[in-house]
């Protein structure tokens, strides 16, 4: 039986994190939405209601968003990246954080 290659979907830990992570219960397709504020609100709601996260809610929500952006890398469309970067700003606003806190 052939061994799965490293690029096999079964071996991609990053995909499993977004699918199976119990730290935040994300709404389906949250990172594909067009409205940055809606994305931020959904992440905030997930982080605030989570009982299994290990960091404060703001940090958990921001970490999940940054994780998604970083894992998509060069494959992330410029418009999608712009929307997700705006969602980071919206998330900061929702939690009353400045960019450098």
The C-alpha atoms of residue 44 and residue 24 are separated, in whole angstroms, by: 10
In this prediction, residue 81 carries a pLDDT of 95
Domain boundaries, the chain: 27-95
- Higher pLDDT pick, 94 / 12: 94
- For residues 35 and 79, the answer to whether their CB atoms sit within 8 Å is no
DSSP H stretches of helix in the chain: 13-20, 36-49, 57-72, 78-95
**pLDDT tens-digit readout, 5-55:** 555 555 665 566 555 555 688 889 999 999 999 999 999 999 999 888 888
In this prediction, residue 61 carries a pLDDT of 94
In this prediction, residue 6 carries a pLDDT of 54
């Amino acid at each position: 039986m052939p061994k799965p290659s490293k690029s096999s979907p079964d071996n991609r830990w990053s995909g499993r994190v977004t699918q199976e992570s119990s730290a935040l219960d994300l709404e389906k397709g949250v990172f594909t939405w067009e409205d940055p504020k809606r994305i931020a609100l959904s992440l905030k709601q997930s982080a605030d209601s989570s009982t299994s996260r290990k960091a404060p809610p703001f940090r958990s929500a921001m970490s999940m968003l940054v994780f998604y952006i970083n894992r998509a890398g060069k494959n992330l469309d410029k418009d999608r990246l712009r929307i997700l970067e705006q969602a980071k700003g919206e998330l900061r606003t929702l939690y009353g954080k400045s960019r450098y806190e």
